[in-house]
Amino acid sequence: MTAAPTGGTNARCPVCQGELIDGRVALPIVGSLRFVYRLGTMEVATEVLARMCTDCGHVALRARDPDLISRAQQASSRAGRTQRWALRNHGRRQAQ
């Protein structure tokens, strides 16, 4: 059994060298295993697939739809933060 890799900004996938992100694995009472990623106050989840080696018992987990989380991450970074004061000032200028 190998130790679980620790997260970090330089963590890379051992298979494809893609960026690893920290999240959690959720086991619902009804349904299947899920990987959950938090974006601010919102959580994005995808089902987890598992494969096992019949010789040594090594288990590999893989997200069923990693694009779901990637798209949410990209949309979150593009949205940015809206400055509330700018919205309030904009409404006052139109009223005058």
* Residue 5 in domain: no
7-54, pLDDT tens digit by residue? 456 778 877 888 887 777 788 888 888 888 888 888 888 899 888 878
pTM for this model (two decimals): 0.57
**Longest pairwise C-alpha distance within the chain:** 76
* Residue 83 in domain: yes
Phi (first) and psi of residue 24, to 5 degrees = -140, 160
* Residue 4 in domain: no
Q: Which two tokens stand for residue 87?
A: 């919205």
* Residue 33 in domain: yes
* Residue 10 in domain: no
* Residue 64 in domain: yes
* Residue 43 in domain: yes
Q: In the structure, what pLDDT confidence band is assigned to residue 3 with cuts at 50, 70 and 90?
A: very low
55-91, pLDDT tens digit by residue? 887 788 888 898 988 888 888 887 765 555 555 555 5
**Cβ pair 19, 11 in contact under 8 A:** yes
Q: 66 lies in which domain range? A: 24-95
Q: Which helix (H) or strand (E) holds 73?
A: helix 66-79
Q: What is the pLDDT of residue 50?
A: 87
Counted domains in the chain: 1
* Residue 42 in domain: yes
